[in-house]
Structure formats: C-alpha cells, structure tokens
C-alpha cells in the first residue's frame, strides 16, 4: 500500500513506508513536556503510530494547582503514517530536528497552541535492547532534545501564556519495538517476575542542557546509561560526555517515590560534579497513556475517532497502584562544581521502579523503602 511517506527518501526496509517490518509491536512516537520556571504549571503530550495495528493515538495532560486533566484520543491510522493528527490534536514539524508545533483545539475544556524550539541538536541515546527470557521486550532508538516553548495553554477557562523567556521542557522521538496494544496471551516460559528500574532526568540549566538516564537490573547493574552536557547551539555529536555517573536516590519512607536524589559525575578532565534534585510536583504518566488501564498505548478504541477526558489528583493517588508507578517529578536541580561554583535549573525526574533492586533494598514486586 502506497502512502504520502513514499514520496520522501525515508524508507528503512524494501516495503512501502506504511509497513514497518514484521513485529506487531512496532511503534513510532512523539513525546513532549513543558513547564513554567516555577514548576507550578506543567503539560505533557504523546502521539503514537502503530503500523501493524493500524492505530494512531494521542493525549494531552495539564497539571496545575495539584489537578491533572487529560484528554485521550484514538483513531484508525488508515495506513497513512504521515497524517500526524488525531481528531483535535496535531503535531507539525516546522523545522526538522529544531522546531515542532503542537496544537489541541479546545476539547473537553483543554486546549493548547505551542511551539517548541530546540536549544541544541538532539542527542541520540544508546539503543535500548532488552529481552524477557526468550522474548524481545524492547528494541528501540530514541532522540531527546531540550528546548523553549512559546504559545498558550487553556485549562477549564483559564488561559496561560507560554513565554519562551521562562518556559522550557523536553521532547523526544522514539521508534522500534516495545509492548503496545493488547498484552500477548502467550506466556513466557519459564515465567519471569517483572523487573524494571528506570530513571530519566532531562534538565534545563541557564546556558545548557543536561541529560542522564539509567536502566538497572535487579542487582543494580546498568544495562543502558548515558550522562551528557549539551551547550546551547551545540551541533550533532558535540555534547560533553560525563563519566562515572551514579544516581543516589532517597525514597519517601514506605514508598518507591523519590524524595530527593543526587547525581554524581566526573567531567572529561576528571573533576567531580554533583546535581541535587528536589521535587516540586508529581505528574502521573498514565495521564498520557503510559500504563493507563484503558488508554494504554496502541489499545483498540474502536473503528472511529474516540475522545475522552479524565481527571487525576496526583497527591491522592496511591503510589503502589501499578498504573501510578510511572511518574515524572517536576524538579529543581542544583549543580555544584569542583571549584564551588554552580547553577540552578529545572527539569523532570522520570521514574518507573518495578520488582527487585538490591541497591534500593527492594526485594519484592512493590515493597517500599525502609
């Protein structure tokens, strides 16, 4: 089947662009977040294309005053991967790898019209490949970029001006294989208890961006990790890679929620640096489909456009409920260098902690910190 994408030199296989290999779990996703300088207003959005399922879905969620409101959307893809809209929501690439526009016509009380401008060229993270026994769980590539936002948001009649002088955030693009849609009914043999330990901290400082992420196994060994600084205006491949990254997480007692954390690294000259993270507010990732029991990514919502609003109260949402495990904390970040100088920034501390993790003292599926 031919589609608009076939006009562009972007084919990755001998197939037309409408097809993406043979794995039914192939996906291609946009992710965005943005926040005011004081961390009091936060929004996030996601749009996913699932060629083998012939579905495209999307969501927008705004957190303000302790209230998180989301709009979810899904429709048949109709095999056209270049149509990056779902009902009232559209994603438009203004300038590849630099500017993207995100528009939600007012729907169920929410609206936005915002443009993201990258502070530097996106970074390519190390390829994520992970198996559960004999089965591929994830095999994907992701690019990440920090930037500034401009435009407006609207939540239940209140309009918020998004000024690029004070609004920053992060976007990413990822594609490959990860669990989507309906779970596979065929069990893995032998059965394996779930384990996933994930931290991602894209942070905006005054003149640069810092990116850190880590996946660790139950023993605390990293199987995917990166720490890099990117000065504003940096070109592809010119980021400053940091060595010996180690994230020390202090958990709220009896939970798996980060109460504070310290990232320790050394720069290319071998000098030590730290970044202290302090939470300002909690955003539930289920608000844009991650782990949502109904609006999980790629879930079949019918053969016509479907749109639905849902509200959440993060502070009253039990941390140990599986759908509430995946969160982004809006965080203040304080950098301290070896000469006593430093700077203050703002970013997100994304966490998803399931199963054992020896350094944290976690032994069961969802036991909390001592």
pLDDT digits (tens, 9 = 90+) for 85-103: 999 999 999 999 999 999 9
Asked whether residue 185 is domain-assigned, the answer is no
Residue 151 sits in a domain whose CATH number is 2.40.370.10
367 within some domain: no
Q: Is residue 318 in a domain?
A: yes
Average pLDDT for 246-257: 98
Domain residue limits at 153: 4-175+193-360
- Where residue 33 falls among pLDDT bands split at 50, 70, 90? very high
Gyration radius (Cα) of the chain, Å: 20
Q: Would you state the structure tokens that stand for residue 57, as one six-digit string? A: 């879905």
Which of 121, 69, 71 lies closest to 95 in space, CA to CA?
121
Residue 326 and residue 225: Cα distance in Å, rounded?
A: 19
Computed over every residue of the chain, the mean pLDDT equals 96
Handedness of CA 311, 106, 36, 171 (dihedral sign): positive
| Residue 368 within a domain | no
Tell me whether residue 48 is in a domain: yes
Whether 323 shows a pLDDT value over 90: the answer reads yes
Considering the domain boundaries, does residue 369 fall inside one? no
Overall number of domains in the chain: 1
* Structural domain includes residue 182: no
Which residue's entry shows tokens 């202090």? 250
119: in domain = yes
For the stretch 117-128, pLDDT in tens is: 999 999 999 999
Q: Is the pLDDT of residue 340 over 90?
A: no
Q: Give me the pLDDT at residue 9, please.
A: 87
> DSSP secondary structure string, 5-50?
GGGSS---SSS-TT---S-TTEEEEEEEEEE-TTSSEEEEEEEEEE
């Amino acid at each position: 089947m031919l589609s608009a994408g076939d006009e562009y030199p972007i084919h990755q296989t001998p197939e037309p662009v409408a097809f993406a290999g043979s794995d039914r779990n192939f996906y291609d996703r946009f992710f965005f977040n943005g926040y005011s300088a004081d961390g009091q207003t936060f929004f996030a959005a996601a749009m996913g294309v699932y060629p083998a399922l012939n579905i495209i879905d999307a969501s927008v969620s705004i957190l303000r005053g302790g209230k998180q409101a989301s709009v979810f959307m899904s429709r048949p893809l109709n095999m056209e991967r270049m149509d990056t809209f779902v009902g009232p929501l559209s994603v438009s690439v203004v300038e590849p790898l630099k500017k993207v526009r995100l528009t939600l016509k007012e729907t169920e009380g929410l609206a936005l019209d915002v443009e993201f401008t990258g502070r530097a060229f996106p970074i390519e993270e190390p390829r994520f490949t992970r198996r559960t026994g004999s089965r591929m769980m994830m095999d994907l590539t992701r690019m990440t970029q920090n930037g500034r936002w401009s435009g407006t948001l609207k939540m239940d009649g209140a309009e918020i001006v998004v000024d690029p002088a004070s609004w920053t955030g992060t976007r990413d693009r990822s594609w490959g294989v990860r669990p989507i849609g309906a779970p596979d009914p065929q069990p893995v043999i032998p059965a394996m208890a779930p384990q996933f330990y994930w931290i991602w901290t894209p942070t905006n400082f005054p003149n640069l961006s810092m990116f850190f992420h880590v996946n660790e196994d139950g023993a605390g060994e990293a199987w995917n990790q990166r720490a890099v600084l990117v000065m504003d205006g940096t070109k592809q491949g010119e980021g400053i890679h940091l060595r010996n990254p180690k994230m020390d997480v202090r958990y709220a007692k009896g939970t798996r929620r980060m109460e504070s954390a310290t990232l320790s690294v050394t720069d290319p000259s071998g000098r030590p640096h730290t970044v202290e993270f302090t939470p300002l507010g909690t955003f539930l990732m289920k608000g844009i489909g991650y782990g949502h029991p109904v609006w999980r990514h790629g879930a079949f919502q019918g053969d016509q456009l479907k749109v639905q609003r849902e509200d959440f109260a993060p502070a009253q949402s039990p941390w140990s409920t599986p759908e509430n495990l995946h969160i982004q904390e809006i965080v203040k970040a304080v950098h301290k260098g070896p000469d006593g100088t430093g700077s203050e920034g703002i970013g997100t501390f994304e966490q998803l902690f399931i199963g054992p993790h020896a350094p944290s003292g976690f032994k069961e599926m969802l036991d909390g910190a001592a």
